[in-house]
């Protein structure tokens, strides 16, 4: 397993509103994953941390989304085989996460 990919997305929403927005979009995220031919287990919350698991190219990608008062920290653990896509994954997370959390 490669080093985790960590993206910190600042926001000014407060913890509750940031979590609400993320929770409201989980269905859309699942639809996008499936349209891309990937699989996704049901994401689950533990306090203010969301855990997820996605299947891609015969590999499993897992991670967490930790919601804090002024930032959301996304940590994705990519298998070595998928590590070559880490730059693109980071860019997409930063862009889409920023859009979701824009005030």
The tens digit of pLDDT for each residue in 59-70 reads: 888 999 999 999
77: left (phi over 0), alpha (psi -120 to 50) or beta: beta
Q: Kindly report, residue by residue over 24-43, the tens digit of the pLDDT.
A: 988 777 777 777 777 888 89
pLDDT surpasses 60 at 12: yes
- The pLDDT of 42-58, averaged and rounded, is 90
State the total domains in the chain: 1
- The pLDDT of 76-92, averaged and rounded, is 87
CATH of the domain at 14: 3.30.310
Q: What is the mean pLDDT of the chain?
A: 88
User: Is 0.75 topped by the overall pTM?
Assistant: yes
The encoded tokens of residue 18 equal: 């940031």
Which residue range is the domain that position 77 belongs to?
Answer: 5-101
CB-based contacts of 76, cutoff 8 Å, min separation 6 = 4, 5, 6, 7, 61, 62, 63, 89, 93
């Amino acid at each position: 397993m490669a080093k985790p990919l960590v993206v910190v997305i600042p926001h000014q929403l407060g913890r509750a509103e940031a979590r609400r927005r993320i929770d409201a979009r989980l269905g859309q995220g699942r639809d996008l994953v499936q349209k891309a031919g990937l699989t996704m287990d049901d994401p689950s919350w533990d306090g203010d941390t969301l855990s997820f698991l996605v299947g891609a190219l015969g590999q499993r990608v897992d991670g967490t989304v930790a919601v804090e008062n002024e930032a959301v920290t996304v940590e994705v653990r990519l298998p070595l085989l998928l590590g070559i896509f880490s730059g693109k994954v980071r860019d997409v997370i930063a862009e889409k996460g920023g859009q979701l959390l824009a005030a």
